[in-house]
Structure 1
Amino acid sequence: MRYVPPIILSQVERGVLKGSFQAFVMMQDIVDFTRIAESFQNTQFHGADNIGELLNKITAGPIQSVHKYGGFISHFVGDAICAIFIGEDPTAMLAALMEIRDFLKDFPLIYLEGRHQKVSMREIISYGEVKWTVFSNPYQYEYLFYGEAFSELSLLCEHSCKNAYSGSVITKIGAKHFQEDGACANLGSLAVTADKQHHKFSFSPHTRSVFYHKNFYDAKLNNEIRNLAVCFVRISSPTTNASAIHKLHIVADRYRGYVNKIDCAESLPVALVLFGVPRSEGKSAYQACEFARELALRQKNLSIGLSCGYAFAGLIGSPDVQEYTALGQCLNLASRLAKQAKPGEIIMDESVYRETAKMYDTKMMGSLHLKGISAKIQYYSLSLKRIKRSLIFDSIFVGRKEEMAFLEELRTTSRKLHRNTIVYINGDPGLGKSRLAWEYMQNIDGHYKFVVTNDKLNNGHLDAVRQILRAIFELGEDDDEEQTKSILDEAFKEIDGEMPEHSKAFLAAILELWYKGSAWDHCPLEQRQERQKEAFCAIISYLLKRKPVLLLLDDGQWIDETSRQFLAALDPCQDHNLLILSPSRYIAGGNCVDLHLDKFTRYDLNLAPLKPRDCRSMLTSILEIKNSRYPAISTIMNKADGFPLYLEQMAYYLLERGRKSKHPLQLPEKFNSFSISDVMNSRIDGFNQGMRECLYYASILGMSFNIK
């Protein structure tokens, strides 16, 4: 799945993790391959297979020639291959280069955009010291080639010449063999004789395995066109390479990102992290944003570029030298954006912005021209702050007296018995589950009260627990790192020994804050999550010694798994009890959600539609009328079938339509054929101030609307 040069594997086998040598570095880059791939993707049924087959045919010859003359492939760079020839003598490198040219000369024409076209590769060659380092970590080892030769190679890649050679290469080969072409120099054909060489390196399967992440080791690898998200991370300080790469792996693992490779650009490491391949969870853009945010909080001076879209994903190279990667315009764009970003800045393109704008604080930065991309690109900065999520209710709360009494009886009973309890308020979207829990919560005194909102996309690692902690410590959305640490410090002074002092460091880490030299830094990686869980349980126990806790866990079916595990670990033996109200949608097969909180007593409240009299009360309140005998009232009630959200939206539609009509409570003739989608679309068409609220409710319904 990942390509690691055998020379690196053999050194790791011996326990050697860094070294250097003098060498020629040669990159062979397929000219205009992104356009070729997009053409295959758009016009051919088996586009992905054809792209993979063509790419492998093109690269197989150069790879074979490199190995034949004693070189080795250091890494793949998109559709390019990078080869190293150790030593000061250019003969072997030149023999391979001439053979590659002959291979390309004889390569069959490809049929593209209505005509046959020739395949060509750009050659970029540098010479100098090559350094290499292996970064060990518990997730997967990484290797990196860098040094003088690679710094020159990065600069040469920016040249517009068809081929590019460093001054040291021209000197080594001899200037007489180069022809000037304006500002460019071209190496002519040479008759080179070199001995064939074949190096053998020994290493064990275990050594190879440490470079493979356990989450992706057995992934099924096919050539596909996949919808994915891409994150390029430029590490701006060479003194923090090892630390930054370690943190990068920790955060990538948390958000299911695949660290595809780490290359060197302009003397600094650049990591490519993919989301949605080789395995997808269906929320790749969100995962990429969460990854970028947390990594930027953990490690300063990173420049990060984000993009998403369809791209080729598959194995590239020859049968003996290949790796799994992705190729496409979105990767080119993310790479360019990372280069555009300042240290500490996260930049996203419009495709990521459209996917995630509601979840984050973003700012449009303008538009720019990027190398290799013809059209101007709009781009946005991603703030490290999230948009605060909350429950929004505008209309009057009616009915539900029996349900409120049921909840009160359960609260009273579980409080007397000191029993932790979870009440699942079950029902279809739009029945008023969250509103019922919210209204009940407002009527309760003498409790710590916290609200957690979950949604299908924005449910990152420990997100629910993080919301609880922010509420416990009364953290503001605009509090910066120093303010937040100050609040935590004051809180732990008040706690004064009732919790272990080291708990602060583990709770701070959940809040994406880190105290230098704290217990968090000294805790083994594999134990950190368990220590966080213990600290969370300790802070909840601290609260329960003082008074009961009431937690509204909205849309509990979407809580992140790690937060669920933390809640499941809470000890029921406390001075007071914890009551969780979890409004939840029915899941597949009409079944009720089960969060498997085994230490909690479970109750279910299956919510029914509103009674007719309550429907009338809601409608007359919204419409500000006393007489409920208008024909429109009965029509809306029949249409809504007791669903509060439907009643509310239809009433607002009628109210807004009436402002533009001589007959304020008259429904359109075709109203009986209207769906809730039609009603909301009609509202959207005429909204100004109310549009935000309408779209919020539309998102609750989980429906798609055309707002263009």
Structure 2
Amino acid sequence: MYNLIPQFIHDQCEQNATAGSFQATTIFMDISGFTPMTETLMKHGKEGAEVLSNVLNKIFQPIIHAIYERGGFISGFAGDAFTAIFQGNDSLSVCFAGQAISNTFTQHGVQRTRFGDFTLEVKIGLSCGDAEWGIIGSETHKTYFFRGDGIDGCAKSEHHCNKGEIILDEKLRALLPKNVIDVEPVEPGFADTVCNHYFRLSNIHATESDLSKDITGLTLPIACQFFPETLLLARQIGEFRHVASVFISFELISSDLDGLTIFVSYIIRMLDRLGGYFNRLDFGDKGGNMLIFFGAPTSHEDDVERALNFVLILKKDLQDLEELSNLKWRAGIKHGLMYAGMVGIPLRCEYTTLGNAVNFSARLMMKSSWGEVFVLEEMTRLKGFKFRHKGDFQYKGFKEAVPTYQLMGKRLVGEHFYVGHWVGRKDELKSLHAFIRPIFKGKFAGLVYVYGETGIGKSRLMHEFRQSIESREFGKSTLYKRRKASVTWLNCQTDPIVRRAFSPFVYILKRYFDQVDSHPLEVRKRRFDAKYHQLIEQIDLKINTENLRKRKGKRAVKRWFKTTKIEPTDSLRIVKQVLFRSKAILAEFIGISAQDSHHDKLGAKIRYENTIHAVKHIFIAMSAIKPVILHIEDGHWLDDDSIALLKAMTHDVANRPIIIISNLRYNDDGSKPSFDIHGVQSQVIELKPLSKSELQLLIEDELHCNVSTKLHNWLFDKTRANPLFVHRGNWT
């Protein structure tokens, strides 16, 4: 089993202790050369990953033993760096450990591999002081931390190092016996907030005692409270994989443990739900930071989207946590190919990633201000998110300034922007127009499933369909002549990550009632009331106009109602009554809770049924004004409660001008997912790959030139005639 947590933390957890502090001497060690070596070996695929894994083992084995044989332990890794702690004021052991680590790099600093020679160098900082520790999280998923002057001090000492040097501060030098070590000042007179001077360690005039320290192992039940069993017992396999790295920095004005526990526990719960990996929690003199991965050790096809969704949900939810009103945070996100695997040896190691991407996420975080999330230009191509260009900034390792963007939020469904000509799909578009004809006669048109693999063009088809509806003429009467079709198009966006009950319908009704989560509650209530009143007024207008038709029978009015298929007056009155009764329920549904609401006092089952009834009738009310097209984006991710709502919406609605259209991906086994709604007319459209002639039109539009037959045939094979692969240039 891999020791992914310190033995000290294991023992404290076993004794049900959660916090404490002690005096310690400390080491911070940072290796340079791993990142360029990683980037070079990436070019060699699996063989390169094996070479890198071997180098990691060869380097870390002696330096980890150098810590543990002298009674210390590694509190945490930071990629190719780590912090080690020696309990008490054992100043000599920390110096001997530092010297042993330095000797390792003198002997093995040049790593010779079949893909070239790589030079690795080390910088070592030593200090002493308080070490505070804590264990936070839930019973099923915990994490731990160390912080304090002793932890900050060794990192500060390392900042004064040149490669190959060991630097200690004045505090540690004062603890050492006289005439035992040889040191020389670093930058004499340099002032620091903790101590006055730093010193370069050159020699130790003492003999070490026996190095055979007792090293015990972890127990699986305790270790599983921090990391999944599959990771603890995994085979040591390193690999190159695409990972989204999220680096978060935060500050809490209060240093009490309660606020930190609430914040970190919330992060862990959310990551467990979203499929992310909580790598570590660190503290320095400028606050805390967290490193989070999406794509390692478990990968998903939408790891970048999950990372962006994670920080957006974090931003929204933290606004509602009064306990964290004094929290400041910022983040950087970078996606790229990285080495993912164990760093260290079974005695003490960490599952992490190495590569430019993880380093760049930290640099993006440092460049951002509080409350901001920075990304690079490559992420701005994601269709579901909004970004703002913050400027072109200089970053370490780049000669030119790099365009940098701030993540602003989710892009509303229907805001997708498409470039280039739309190719093919004419028959499918014609079928969609045929399927919706009943709604213009006041009838329910059933369900339409649009199936296709990722990138095949389902969303583009729906975009073009909507555009064509809004510009197309319907009907033959003079009333409709040169009149655009008038429909209410509702986009329900499912969420593959946060599959909360009714979330697509909450989303669309928030838009309908002009709700913005960041606005004050009073503003949201005022907007909801105004929109609700407007809807009831529109229903009243329909009722009054119907009464006018019955009394006067004017030809023009008769013609209007004949063509629009207005509902009978009694049916409209029922809709109005339901709206009056459902106002509080719908307000609560979109997050506007009413005090002393009668609905809050009902049982859970009755509240659930009332909610479905109320939401169904708000859509019926909309359809009484104009025909409704309810488009469910990515219906394969629809939650069970939303499916229950759909089943209710399709019951007893024969004379409601509504149609439900959903685009879905195939299941993993190739079968077609559905909402399992019976007794309702259902239509199916399947989007297949483009034909050869259609693909040629698309490629020539993309490249702005004619293509040869040979290139055309090659691209047809490489892209599988999938429009997304053509647009992204996935041709290799």
Give the TM-score, by structure 2 length.
0.70
1:601 counterpart SS class: coil
1:263 alignment counterpart: 282
Amino acid at match of 1:486: V
- CA offsets per residue over residues 563-590 of structure 1, 9 Å max, x none? 4652345552877578553254784899
State percent identity of aligned pairs: 18
Q: How far off its partner does 1:65 sit? A: 1.9
The alpha carbon displacement at 1:101 in A equals 3.4
CA contact (8 A) 2:643 2:675 kept: no
Matches within 5 A, 1:224-243: 224-237=239-252, 239=254, 240-243=259-262
Distance across 1 between alignment mates of 2:26 and 2:629: 60
- Please point out which of 593, 596, 604 is paired with 2:683: 604
Distance 1:279 1:91 in 2: 43
Partner of 2:339: 312
CA 1:67/1:44 → structure 2, altered by over 3 Å: closer, same or farther?
same
State the 1:224 CA deviation: 0.8
Instruction: Answer yes or no: is 1:581 the counterpart of 2:660.
Output: yes
CA distance in 2, matches of 1:600, 1:188: 85
Q: Quick check: 57-66 or 361-370, which moved more?
A: 361-370
Q: Distance between the aligned counterparts of 2:140 and 2:661, measured in 1?
A: 35
Alpha-carbon distance in 2 for matches of 1:119, 1:607:
55
* Aligned-pair CA distance for 1:303: 1.0
CA distance in 1: counterparts of 2:607 and 2:230, whole angstroms: 23
1:97 aligns with 2:119: no
> For the Cα contact (< 8 Å) 1:533–1:566, is it kept in 2?
no
Deviation digits for residues 375-428 of structure 1, max 9, x if unmatched? 643322111353553478999x9998886555445998985xxxx942225687
1:434 deviation in Å? 5.8
Q: Is the 8 A contact 1:39 1:113 kept in 2?
A: no
Change beyond 3 A, Cα 1:39–1:535: farther
Taking structure 1 as reference, are residues 367 and 113 closer, same or farther at Cα in structure 2, changes over 3 Å only?
A: farther
Q: Report the residue type matching 2:618 in the other structure.
A: L
Q: What SS does the aligned partner of 1:57 have?
A: helix
Question: Kindly tell me: are residues 463 and 208 of structure 1, through their superposed partners in 2, closer, same or farther at Cα, counting changes over 3 Å?
Answer: closer
Tell me the equivalent position of 2:491: 452
Match of 2:9 in 1: 8
Contact kept? 1:548, 1:576, Cα under 8 Å: no
Correspondence list, 1:100-499, <5 A: 100-107=101-108, 109-111=110-112, 119-137=120-138, 140-159=141-160, 161-162=162-163, 163-173=166-176, 177-182=182-187, 185-190=199-204, 191-196=206-211, 198-199=213-214, 204-213=219-228, 222-237=237-252, 239=254, 240-266=259-285, 268-299=287-318, 301-353=328-380, 355-356=381-382, 358-371=383-396, 376-386=401-411, 389-390=414-415, 404=433, 406-409=435-438, 415=444, 421-425=446-450, 429=457, 435-436=464-465, 449-452=488-491, 460-462=497-499, 466=503, 468-474=505-511, 479=516, 481-482=518-519, 486-488=523-525, 491=528, 498=581
Counterpart contact for 2:124–2:158, Cα < 8 Å = no
- Give the Cα–Cα distance (whole angstroms) in 1 for the partners of residues 285 and 594 of structure 2: 30
Q: 1:154 to 1:382 in 2, by over 3 A?
A: farther
Alpha carbons 1:681, 1:706 under 8 Å: kept: no
CA separation of 1:70 and 1:241: change in aligned 2, threshold 3 A:
same
> What displacement does 1:8 show?
0.8
Checking the alignment, whether the CA contact within 8 Å between 1:147 and 1:267 is kept in structure 2 is: no
Alpha-carbon deviations, 1:541-564, whole Å to 9, x = none? 4526756597646575x3462546
Residue 178 of structure 1 deviates from its aligned partner by 1.1
Distance in 2 between the 1:6 and 1:54 partners? 25
Q: CA 1:459/1:141 → structure 2, altered by over 3 Å: closer, same or farther? A: closer
**1:677 matches 2:699:** yes
Distance 1:142 1:307 in 2: 24
- The answer as to 2:68 corresponding to 1:29 is no
Amino acid in the other structure paired with 1:248? I
Once the 2 structures are TM-superposed, how far is the Cα of residue 640 of structure 1 from its aligned partner? 10
Once the two structures are overlaid, the 10-residue window that deviates more, 431-440 or 280-289, is: 431-440
How far apart are the structure 1 equivalents of 2:519 and 2:632? 32
Give SS of 1:75's match.
strand
> How far has the Cα of 1:705 moved from its partner?
4.0
Mapped contact 1:110–1:117 kept (Cα < 8 A): yes
* 1:137 shift after superposition: 2.2
Residue of structure 2 equivalent to 1:81: 82
Distance 1:551 1:88, change over 3 A: farther
- 1:526-537 superposed matches below 5 A: 537=612
Structure 1 residue 360: Cα displacement: 2.6
SS in 1 for 2:648: coil
Partner of 2:195: none
Distance change >3 Å, CA 548–CA 214, structure 1 → 2: farther
What's the offset of the Cα at 1:30? 1.6
CA separation in 2, counterparts of 1:518 and 1:248?
Answer: 33
Q: Check 1:425–1:273 CA distance in 2 against 1; reply closer, same or farther (3 A cut).
A: closer
Structure 1 residue 440: Cα displacement: 6.6
Amino acid at match of 2:269: I
- The answer on 1:561 being equivalent to 2:637 is yes
Return closer, same or farther for 1:87/1:491 CA change in 2, 3 Å cut-off: same
Does the CA contact (< 8 Å) of 1:446 and 1:547 recur in 2? no
Deviation at 1:33, TM superposition (A): 1.8
**Distance change in 2, residues 1:534/1:164 (3 Å):** farther
CA gap of 1:133–1:552, structure 2 versus 1, over 3 A, is farther
Contact 1:425 1:607 survives alignment (8 Å): yes
- One-letter amino acid of the counterpart of residue 269, structure 1: G
Residue 487 (structure 1) shift: 2.4
Q: Distance in 2 between matches of 1:297 and 1:307?
A: 21
Distance in 1, matches of 2:37 and 2:687, equals 57
CA contact (8 A) 2:249 2:331 kept: yes
Q: Is the CA contact 2:246–2:307 (under 8 Å) kept in the aligned structure 1?
A: yes
Deviation by residue 1:94-136 (Cα, 9 ceiling, x = unmatched): 3333333343333373237998565432111121100011112
Equivalent position of 1:56 in the other structure: 57
Give the conservation status (yes or no) of the 8 Å contact 1:313–1:327.
Answer: yes
SS at match of 2:108: coil
Which structure 2 segments of 5+ residues have no match?
A: 189-197, 319-326, 476-483, 533-577, 708-720
Q: Normalising by structure 1, what TM-score? A: 0.72
Using the alignment, how far apart are the partners of 1:219 and 1:538 within structure 2? Answer: 50
Counterpart contact for 1:222–1:315, Cα < 8 Å: yes
Return the alpha-carbon distance in structure 1 between the equivalents of residues 117 and 415 of structure 2.
58
**TM superposition shift of 1:68:** 1.2
Q: Which amino acid aligns with 2:22?
A: F
- Could you give the per-residue CA deviations for residues 325-354 of structure 1, whole angstroms, max 9, x where no partner exists? 10111111111221222211111133434x
CA contact (8 A) 1:221 1:278 kept: no
State the aligned residue count.
Answer: 615
CA deviation vs aligned residue, 1:475-523 (integer Å, no higher than 9, x gap): 5889461157732576379699946968856743xxxxx999999xx9x
1:270 positional shift: 1.0
Say whether the 8 Å CA contact 1:230–1:331 is kept in structure 2. Answer: yes
Distance 1:231 1:27 in 2: 23
